[in-house]
């Protein structure tokens, strides 16, 4: 359960104060499928970063699964991120010198899991994404769609409750993008909360709950069948 109350996020740019988020209230229940749309600079990514504990609000309160996370230290936030949240990025963010399996294993390595325990988990995640035969390939040996599937495998390897996707199809052709969205939707159907920032209206419309942001505020919220 995500609860944002009166969230502000201000940035100092030169001598100007920029309000990236302006008094945002948002509740997202477990298992929801939410898309966030809006023009560039409207605050979508800032909101996603804040939900993903990569950033802290200037004001306001954020409760994740009942825990106030605004007062946690950087190390505590890192632990919560590792355990509760999975990220899927537009640019995939795979480490080029590591194989697909090693990239997927990263969150488990950071969690301190021994190799014998993480190996079957990594293999399972890759199998789920139909990437078993590419496990030992490096990112530059994979297509864009395959890279994003590796990135999704990495995002779900710790079995997080929340999956945050920032333009997950932005770097993919239509066919690959469609495949990636289906994977994310399948994960959502298994109970993972899916929050996706997108410019793509068609992709955004597939979410059951659609938020539109303008100038740091949520201006419109629509609910509908996905």
Partner 1 sequence: MALRSSDLLHFSWRALRGFPSRTLLMLTAMAIGVAAVVLLTSLGEGARRYVTGEFASLGTNLVIVFPGRSETAGINPSTMMGETPRDLSLADAQALLRSRSVRRIAPINVGAADISWQNRSREVVILGSNHDLLDIRHWAVDQGRFLPETDLDRATPVAVIGSKIRDELFGPKRALGEWVRIGDRRFRVIGIMGSEGRSIGVDVEETVIIPVASAQQLFNTASLFRILVETKNREAIETAREFIIDTLQQRHQGEQDVTVITQDAVLQTFDRILGALTYTVGGIAAVSLAVAGILIMNVMLVAVSQRTAEIGLLKALGAAPRQILSLILTEAVMLSAIGAAAGMGLGQLGSYFVRVAFPVLPAYAPGWAAATALAVALITGLLFSLLPARRAARLDPVLALSGR
C-beta of 154 vs 210, nearer to partner 1: 154
The binder of partner 1 chosen from 97, 130, 174, 189 (CB under 8 A)? 97
Binding positions for partner 1, 113-132, rule CB under 8 A = 114-115
Contact stretch for partner 1 (CB under 8 A) within 30-38, 64-72, 93-101, 181-189: 93-101
C-beta of 15 vs 116, nearer to partner 1: 116
Q: Is 98 in the site for partner 1 (CB under 8 A)?
A: yes
Contact stretch for partner 1 (CB under 8 A) within 34-42, 81-89, 167-175, 181-189: 81-89
The binder of partner 1 chosen from 17, 18, 110, 201 (CB under 8 A)? 110
The binder of partner 1 chosen from 44, 147, 149, 154 (CB under 8 A)? 154
DSSP-assigned letters across all residues of the chain: -EEEEEEEEEEEETTEEEEEEEEEEEEE-TT-EEEEE-STTSSHHHHHHHHTTSS--SEEEEEETTEE-TT--HHHHHHHHHHHEEEEETT----TTS-HHHHHHHHHHHTT--HHHHHHHHHHHHHHTT-GGGTT--GGGS-HHHHHHHHHHHHHTT--SEEEEESTTTTS-HHHHHHHHHHHHHHHHTT-EEEEE-S-HHHHHTSSEEEEEETTEEEEEEE---
Q: Is 49 in the site for partner 1 (CB under 8 A)?
A: yes
Q: Is 95 in the site for partner 1 (CB under 8 A)?
A: yes
- Inter-residue contact 108 to 158 (CB < 8 Å): yes
**Least Cβ distance, residue 77 to partner 1 (angstroms):** 9
Residues of this chain that bind partner 1 (CB under 8 A): 49, 52, 54-55, 74-75, 78-79, 81-83, 87, 89, 93, 95-98, 102, 106-107, 109-112, 114-115, 154, 158
């Amino acid at each position: 359960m995500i609860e944002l109350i009166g969230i502000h996020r201000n940035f100092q740019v030169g001598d100007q104060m920029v309000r990236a988020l302006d008094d945002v209230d948002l509740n997202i229940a477990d298992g929801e499928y939410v898309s966030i749309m809006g023009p560039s600079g409207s605050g979508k990514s800032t909101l996603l970063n804040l939900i993903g504990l990569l950033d802290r609000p200037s004001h306001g309160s954020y409760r994740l699964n009942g825990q106030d996370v605004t007062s946690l230290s950087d190390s505590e936030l890192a632990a919560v991120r590792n355990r509760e949240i999975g990220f899927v990025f537009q640019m995939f963010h795979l480490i080029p010198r590591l194989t697909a399996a090693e990239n997927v294993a990263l969150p488990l390595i950071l969690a301190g899991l021994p190799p014998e325990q993480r190996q079957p988990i990594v293999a399972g995640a890759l199998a789920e994404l139909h990437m078993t035969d590419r496990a030992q390939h490096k990112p530059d040996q994979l297509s864009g769609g395959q890279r994003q599937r590796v990135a999704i495998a990495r995002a779900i390897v710790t079995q997080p409750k929340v999956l945050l996707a920032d333009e997950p199809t932005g770097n993919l052709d239509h066919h690959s993008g469609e495949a990636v969205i289906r994977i994310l939707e399948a994960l959502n159907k298994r109970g993972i909360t899916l929050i996706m920032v997108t410019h793509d209206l068609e992709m955004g419309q597939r979410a059951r709950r659609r938020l539109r942001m303008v100038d740091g505020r949520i201006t419109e919220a629509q609910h509908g069948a996905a």
